[in-house]
Structure 1
Amino acid sequence: MEMGVCWIVLLRVLVLQLAGALVGGQVRYSVPEEAKAGTVVGRLAQDLGLEAGEPEARLLRLVSQGRRASVEVSGASGALVVSSRLDREELCGKSAPCSLRLEVLVERPLRVFHVELEVTDINDNAPVFRVNEEAFTIAEYPTLPGSRFPLEGASDADVGANAQLSYSLSPNEHFSLDHPGNNEHSSSLTLVLTKPLDRETMPIHHLVLTATDGGRPPLTGTVELLISVLDVNDNAPQFNQSVYKVKVLEGSEPGTQLITLNASDLDEGVNSEVIYLFSRHASAEVKEMFSIDENKGEIRLRRNLDYEEMDNYEIQIEARDKGSPPLSGHCKVVVEVLDVNDNAPEVWVTSLSVPVPEDAAVGTVVALLSVSDRDSGANGRVRCTVWPSAPFGLVSTFAGSYSLVLREALDRERVSEYEVEVRAEDGGAPPLRASRGLRVPVSDVNDNAPAFAQAVYTVLARENNAAGAELARLWARDPDEAGNGRVSYSVSESGGGAAVSGGGWRPASSYVSVDAESGRLWALQPLDYEELQVLQFEVRAVDAGEPALCGNATVQLFVLDENDNAPVLLPPAGGGPGAGAAGSAASSADSGALWAWATWGAPAGQVVAKIRAVDADSGYNAWLRYELWEPRGKGPFRVGLYSGEVSTARALEEADGPRQRLVIVVRDHGEPARSATATLSVSLVEGAEVALAAAGSGSSRAALAAAEGGAASATTTNVWLVVAICAVSSLFLLAVVLYGAARWAPRSAVLSGPGPATLVCASEVGSWSYSQRQSRSLCVADGGGKSDLMVFSPNFPPAAGSAAKETHPDAPALLQTVSGASSLPPFLFSRPFRRSLLPPVALFARPPGRLSLL
């Protein structure tokens, strides 16, 4: 409330001043410096007597006088406002008051007015000293209290009360500040010494001089006073102790340093420089026996000491400074001569039994030692130790005799030789030492059996490999040396074998052999997938030690199928010719002569015959397709691509002739593909003749109806097979992704085999991949043992890991190793286990009527 009243009074005063200025022909305004842009200084148009709207109509403006104006006239209102920063110190410096003369121009009619703008000072500048630090020196005791030292004051860019400075000094006990009064002049600013200085107590004084102006709020500035105290020689040298005791051995060489004395002087410069001398009370015998360096204070021997001649000396020493006058301090050095332990112990090896077997019992004596010292008393008492402290130790048998015995069990594979040092030390002061080194080799014992890198090795090999081809390389490590570590390899006699087709059993040694020295696994004969799919056996590694030790590893050899069998035509299902019958074929390479009847006027799609073939291979190599080779073009017959059914492509006419000769090629999907050719003769007869022919061959009219129904059933079966293939293939791909994610961690693997371990096949039906497999057949219709549905368990070779590094570096082939639970145990190929693997499988389509699970 009081503030509002003050502003009202101030405005009234300003109005009166403006009125008087208008009467005198001049307008005066006042504005504080640092006013913000846009601050209204005065209502110029109103003060000049202009009506509302006239300032803009009569073009009221300021006339520039060669310098940038910090005020401007507002457009329509005609008010004088601040346009930029006003700095009184920049405009007027130390001048007071600070007034700016402005000319205001008004047109219509043209008139000029003079406006005086006073910029008032605010406290926006702090006191400033010329330097941040001022240093000077004052002597300690000669300088008396009351001594005065002039100081340079601070300056303030403001004026008036804002520039009135007062000074203060940081609290201390040696100095005060003399300043008569608060003014802007600093000539009378003086530093007064109130207490004598002592350089040894405080060599440098740090004071802070503060200048404060009279503004509201006040601003301050500081300068640091650095006062160095000059030294006076008022302190004598002092030793850190009055008596020094030194022990020295007799027989010490001349020049031996006994002690280095150090006297300190609290003064500085020349007053603190000290020299060392023998005191005038020192005897001539002392001066002949010892010398002293006057600058360093080192006392040295000049002659040999003899303990029997004199066992101690007292030396008086004086330390004198170089001050004026010089001051000195004194001390005494007592030298005690000690008897010398000048004979070191001696160690002899009287007996050494090496090498030591690694299976030697704890407590076995390795060596006998003898120790002696020619000194007497404590200097002749000897203590012995052995280094390292394990696995050997010393046992004292009687005075001066020791036995080196075995304290811990040895392992040559860990340490094959020990460097043992027997150390002897007497009881002298200082003690003398001697040592004797022993080399103790450790002889090998066959205590390590050969160990394979993995317990189970998985080997992949293609069939029809050459006899003598290398399948894999096995390696067992034996850390023993010489014969104990020399390993030989062999196929275990009871290590297993394989069941061959026909129900027989053959031992593994009839298929493979292992090199006794290198561990290379060889094939003794070409492998036939149709005879052998999996061969599991054991390889034995035996060292040459006494007694020999051995280790075993299981090898699972998987034979990969190749397309080495062509399709073979089968005889007709009914055992004789007839509708849908075919004659027998001699071999897979020879053409089979088949015949069948067809009725005149038979509609399109009627099955007249079925070509039946089988392939001894497996998987993709046994997937058969049937193609009509002759006649080409638009003939009356067609052949099912995968069913082998011969049916009418259109209605049969008399123009087709009495007989049709069809050449049908049966081809598998192997690489390269193999094929067989069947020749089918179809006789075109009347319906009655067909019935008689069918009766003559043991068939009835129902056979023809069954043939027609079989064609429709086969077509339906093919559709469902394609649907099943697509569904199971999707499940297989999903299982592959999940299985790969679960087994992302790298595993030990070495693969072997001529070519890639995984074979990828594609056709118009779909694509599948297969590798390690074991097959069996399920016959759901007449025909051979091969099937339309083939199920494969996928094989994912693990990545090479740490176990792979254990294999022999020269292995020419890749041997997949599966260890632990990831290996392929024999029960993997059992019937119940294969049934449990139905999710991760791939399906292959074959002609309908047969099913095979691999």
Structure 2
Amino acid sequence: MSSLPKKTNLSLHSDQDRGDGSLKYILSGDGAGDLFIINENTGDIQATKRLDREEKPVYILRAQAINRRTGRPVEPESEFIIKIHDINDNEPIFTKEVYTATVPEMSDVGTFVVQVTATDADDPTYGNSAKVVYSILQGQPYFSVESETGTYQFKTPESSPPGTPIGRIKASDVDIGENAEIEYSITEGEGLDIFDIITDQETQEGIITVKKLLDFEKKKVYTLKVEASNPHVEPRFLYLGPFKDSATVRIMVEDVDEPPVFSKLAYILQIREDAQINTTIGSVSAQDPDAARNPVKYSVDRHTDMDRIFNIDSANGSIFTSKLLDRETLLWHNITVIATEINNPKQSSRVPLYIKVLDVNDNAPEFAEFYETFVCEKAKADQLIQTLRAIDKDDPYSGHQFSFSLAPEAASGSNFTIQDNKDNTAGILTRKNGYNRHEMSTYLLPVVISDNDYPVQSSTGTVTVRVCACDHHGNMQSCHAEALVHPTGLSTGALIAILLCIVTLLVTVVLFAALRRQRKKEPLIISKEDIRDNIVSYNDEGGGEEDTQAFDIGTLRNPEAIEDSKLRRDIVPEALFLPRRTPAARDNTDVRDFINQRLKENDTDPTAPPYDSLATYAYEGTGSVADSLSSLESVTTDGDQDYDYLSDWGPRFKKLADMYGGVDSDKDS
């Protein structure tokens, strides 16, 4: 029985109550005046006796404050709901006093026998007062009952990976030690290959685990027969029979929210390349595999369709074009479609979609290459001079079939004809005997190429034919003003040989002209460029005749040069510049003889370059009466350098010799 205490904290109070006793509280509704009374002065509500939730769980009362003198309400009526809390004051009661059932004597373990049902009048939503647990008091080990529904039972989500423990079962054994060890095994049932059982060595409990992946949508309940046995039995007790027992285990597979599943692992669609925008190509389909069958929406993964060529209807999965297609640009489009649960966007799946663009004859055939050929002046009529080939970007189902012909404007009066070989090639043939390159050096031959598809596409290509002179073998030699390189013309080696001959001839002419010019030159070369490049500068200048103490001019004496007048003139004689330690020469005769010898050699040899003279006599002192031996002035009055100095070399040598011949003997050389 449920009860409500006589003293409660439930009370009614009006804002109009000043505590002077002018107001009166009244109560009406379920049990008012019988089960519930109200203090008319304070508004406190009390129960008059014990209450039974199972008889009436809820009471609805109405209370009001009225003026004691006039009897009129001072506030609107208020409604109260009193709910009786349950206590476990009822025992479970079976729906029948006796259950009668039959079972065949050879029935398999786990066979259903009878369903027993017990009810509890207590509140099932409040605590465990109404929870019923079943157990067998007599009849074991032949029968068993599930504790919650009247037969062991476990639950596991369908997402449980292999190895996940589901539940434990326990077989009792009054023995101790080794004799109390228990082994468990699954011997029968629908889940022999789906579940497994192992023994916890510490507790001797059987642990049922998942062996393979589960699928709620395929099977929701598995019934297993689990057997417990003693692995250690003394032989003397074997006559007592098998030391084992069995129990039935029911495993409930719980549904888990899974992502949508497409009807195919991949989709392949086709569409013509001339399809208009918004043309439907096909569709994909996906469903929520869960029992709830939540609706899904579709979308295209834009990472696989960056140009947004395709789109999809989010509701029905129809694929349609959003841009024009071109098979010659891209034959296959590989995109990915996403299906997402509307109620749970985290649950989504993907599927590849391959779209093939079918060919349409929208390209005209054209020459496979640029054709430029030649015809010999002595060619005969009907002579093949070039074979033509064509290509087409289209890919017709039956293959390419090209046809070749001369353009209408060139068909009449042409000097050449086109022969269609019917194998996608054509030949250009001569139409007459002999051609004259001086009358017509080049022919432009327009050729029309057509395909055999629908609609027919054609284009016009131009073949350039040059008239050339050929040898008796038909090899091209020359075409008008320039030679045309051709596989049957001059070889690369022949052209190189001709070029080398021309270069050799030019070099010979240049050398001959140079030698001839050299013979006509004066004894001393006057050319400014020749002498400028061969001046040796020492960046040192002495004091002339007055500075003979600073430099021994006797070092200029070269006995080898005096004895041998046949020195080489093609190189600078380095031997003249080698330093030699010679006694200081006081005799001016040696210097004079040396200079005279040099002067004589230069006067008698008109082809000798001035290297020796410049290299030997580049030194002079200051104050020389012969002035400078060089015509190169470091500073001039007008700022321009005079390079015309070769013409006065002879007189300068003579003047220097006379000067040394006329010096006093007591003066320093």
TM-score range, shorter chain: 0.3 to 0.5
Greater per-residue strand proportion: 1
- Structure number, greater radius of gyration: 2
What TM-score, normalized by structure 2, do the two folds share? 0.38
What TM-score, normalized by structure 1, do the two folds share? 0.31
